[in-house]
Amino acid sequence: MNGRLLVTQLIRQGGIYGLTAEKFSLGRSNTDVVRAMLDAGVRIIQYREKTKKMGAKYVECLALRAMTRQAGAAFIVNDDIDLALLVDADGVHVGQEDLPVAAVRSLVGEGRAIGLSTHSPEQARAAVAAGADYIGVGPIYATQTKDDVCAPVGLSYLDFVVREIDLPFVAIGGIKERNLAEVAGRGARCPALVTEIVGVPDMRTKVAALQRILGAARK
């Protein structure tokens, strides 16, 4: 199975979409954090480190690519298309101000997934037309994990995507254990959580609790 199919299949199946965030990881390395996430059953990992030097990113991503491949998990690189290609990632995730989807596709080819962050119905429709493989939907709630984040889009945009957009999607932004049931109950099968996972000492217990909430919402 190529990376594009793996990513879209896992997002449609549902489950936790994990992201790295070393500054919130209680002093642990990204390799330690991702190993713990994989051990806890997370099967989609996005590498998102905005401020690190490219050489350091490359070394980390090589290790994370090997770990995710062994676990049968999807590995996605945020923004850095060249890095995604160099480490043979399954996909790349870009934002509204990054290269357009068509340009990214010309670089990554047909075998890798392209995810696109969206914040409005217009952007979601444009993502479909542009050929994105999945979209990020958010930020649902206020979040502090990104410096350039836009204002929360709220649950109404999530409702729109569930109702009107056929692409796989990842709900993101301020999602915590305390509000996950609300998001999942509206149809978000694949929520992305950052500090709620990487910022706790026992990720296995936390992920298990989150998965129980997701499972209950599907019944």
What single letter denotes the amino acid at residue 104?
Answer: V
Q: Which tokens belong to 215?
A: 């499972």
Active site residue: 43, 48, 65, 112, which one?
A: 48
Return the closest-CA partner of residue 20 out of 51, 105, 170, 11. Answer: 51
117 belongs to the catalytic site: yes
Active site residue: 25, 57, 65, 117, which one?
A: 117
- Report the alpha-carbon distance of residue 80 to residue 147 in Å, rounded: 17
Could you give the strand order of the β-sheet that contains 74-78, starting from the edge strand earlier in sequence? Answer: 169-171, 134-137, 113-118, 91-94, 74-78, 44-47, 17-19, 192-193
Active site residue: 35, 105, 125, 146, which one?
A: 146
Task: Tell me whether strands 192-193 and 169-171 are parallel, antiparallel or unpaired.
Answer: unpaired
In the three-class reduction of DSSP (H, G, I as helix; E, B as strand; rest coil), residue 17 is classed as strand
Provide the 10 A C-beta neighbour count for residue 137: 29
Q: Furthest-apart CA pair in the chain: how many Å?
A: 46
- Give yes or no for a cis peptide into 121 (omega within 30° of 0): no
| Rg of the Cα atoms in the chain | 16
12 belongs to the catalytic site: no
53 belongs to the catalytic site: no
Asked whether the beta carbons of 165 and 194 are under 8 A apart, the reply is no
By annotation, the residues acting in catalysis are 48, 117, 146
